[in-house]
A and B are shown apart, each in its own frame.
Chain A
Amino acid sequence: MTERIIIAVLYVILAPFVIGLLDGFDRKISARMQGRRGPSVLQPFFDLKKLFEKEFLTANKSQLFMIRSYLVFIVLSGILFFGGFDILLVVFSLSTAAMFLILASTSTHSPYSAQGTHRELVQIMSCEPMELLVAVGFYLATKTFNVNEIIAGSAISNIVYLPGFFVGFVFILTIKFRKSPFDIATSHHAHQEVIKGVTSEMVGKEYGMVTLAEWYENAILLGIVGLFFLNSNPVSIVGAIIAILVVWFLEILIDNTSARVKWQLMLKLAWGVTIIAAGMNLFLLEIIMG
């Protein structure tokens, strides 16, 4: 138990640094792919720090409360995941957090927020089935939802049983990370079509907290990528870390080589991949595991 508590505490302390740094490398690598020098790898931290130093001009006082709740629920989900609790609970807790983000962005009356919120809901709709299915997949392969038992009870990595689930999950990660072609609810780069979508009306520290919450969430998502590769042998951690880095690089590559699509196509693609990849895998697992 103490070990689980230590890992959860480490998550709370280290996740922002690790993901912030990965984000910095993301911007550097993206710049190099575009033939630019790019900012320092510490740039995401400079940005975050500045956001907390700016004047706080909010349009609606309740927005700050919603955003704080969003951050708290994301961190809670992370504690549940890295503490080795129920993965199904993690998925539900993440969707509760997402509801707070929606409430925060709809608490103002900006048309850009409204547009962004609408798209954010479509994004949630695209990703949610796959997230749930991942939990189901782990259950079918290991007969437990408990993250700790999933790792301890697997003699070989679950990727062997769940390749379709893995493909489907990596696909929705592009949406989750708000990367092109699916960065439709808010724009990460200089695209200014919906200005900043859901985050349009979030000023200074509010936007800072949303950024921080996204880092915490990305840590969980990358953790789930790692979970596919972890087994009872501690050496598998190396494999998991390599898999996470490969997936991260793949996302950067996709981001830099594709243009944004409309939400209709995103929904069709996400559900298509979910049904085909995860559905087939589910079907086969049912047959084999009976």
Chain B
Amino acid sequence: MSTIHKSPWLLHYDGSSCNGCDIEVLACTTPVYDVERFGVINTGNPMHADIFLITGGINSQNESVVKQIYEQMPQPKVVIAVGTCACTGGIFKECYNIKGGADTVIPVDIYVPGCAARPESIIDGVVKGVALFKEKAEALKAAEK
């Protein structure tokens, strides 16, 4: 039986967000929401991460950074865009330096809307991400066979 979904390690990257969503992401790790009970670890290392959580939109400076982080993560991996900014560019969409949401540079699996996204919906997104993570792991295994 695969238990891979019981250990989803998270990498949080802050694009050009207003920090509103970032604070909500951090709130998820506090005693009130405690995402660690699902086995989630907030890691800073893309090589150890399974779920890539992006807040804020993509600008011309962080574009290459986001791509690199994504490429450094070993398969299977899931990308979650948290907040309207990461989904579409949000309130900053029309700015001269903003390219748009995270999906303008890397494939995004799950979109969590909200400005700021509430911790409940972030956890909801992570739980969906975890289910997808398991699916991808099984698909990868099947492809190997």
A200 near B45 with CB under 8 A, answer yes
Q: Which residues of A contact B68 (CB under 8 A)?
A: none
Q: Which residues of B contact A112 (CB under 8 A)?
A: 45
Q: Which residues of B contact A190 (CB under 8 A)?
A: 29, 41-43
Q: Known: A47-B7, A47-B39, A204-B74. Contact between A36 and B47, CB under 8 A?
A: no
Give the interface residue-count category, chain A.
Answer: 20 to 34
Give the interface residue-count category, chain B.
Answer: 20 to 34
Q: Which of B30-38, B87-95, B103-111 contacts A (4 or more CB under 8 A)?
A: B30-38
Q: Which residues of A contact B34 (CB under 8 A)?
A: 31, 36-38
Q: Considering the chains assembled together, what is the distance between the CA atoms of A55 and B48 in angstroms?
A: 11
Q: Which residues of A contact B114 (CB under 8 A)?
A: none
A43 near B39 with CB under 8 A, answer yes
Which listed residue (A31, A53, A192) contacts B4, Cβ 8 A?
A53
Q: Closest CB-CB distance, B71 to chain A, in whole Å?
A: 9
Please report which residues of chain A, range 186-210, place their CB below 8 angstroms from some CB of chain B when the two chains form the complex: 190, 192, 195-196, 200-204, 207
Q: What are 25 inter-chain pairs, A to B, with CB distance below 8 A? A: A31-B34, A31-B36, A34-B31, A36-B34, A36-B37, A37-B34, A38-B34, A38-B36, A38-B37, A39-B38, A43-B6, A47-B41, A49-B3, A49-B4, A50-B4, A50-B50, A53-B137, A55-B74, A55-B140, A190-B29, A190-B43, A192-B43, A201-B47, A202-B47, A203-B47
0/1 interface trace, chain B 115-144, chain A, CB 8 Å (1 if under):
000000000000000000000010011000
A36 near B31 with CB under 8 A, answer yes
User: Is B61 on the interface with A (CB-CB < 8 A)?
Assistant: no
Q: Considering the chains assembled together, what is the distance between the CA atoms of A200 and B31 in angstroms?
A: 27
Main secondary structure of the interface of A (DSSP, over half): loop
A50 near B7 with CB under 8 A, answer yes
User: Is B75 on the interface with A (CB-CB < 8 A)?
Assistant: yes
Please report which residues of chain B, range 11-54, place their CB below 8 angstroms from some CB of chain A when the two chains form the complex: 29, 31, 34, 36-39, 41-45, 47-48, 50
- Other than A46-B7, A112-B45, A203-B47, give 10 A-B pairs with Cβ distance below 8 A: A34-B31, A36-B34, A49-B4, A50-B3, A50-B4, A50-B50, A55-B75, A195-B44, A203-B48, A204-B74
User: Is A35 on the interface with B (CB-CB < 8 A)?
Assistant: yes
A192 near B137 with CB under 8 A, answer no
Q: Considering the chains assembled together, what is the distance between the CA atoms of A53 and B44 in angstroms?
A: 20
0/1 interface trace, chain A 28-57, chain B, CB 8 Å (1 if under):
000100111111100100110110011111
Q: Considering the chains assembled together, what is the distance between the CA atoms of A56 and B76 in angstroms?
A: 11
Q: Which residues of A contact B39 (CB under 8 A)?
A: 39-40, 43, 46-47
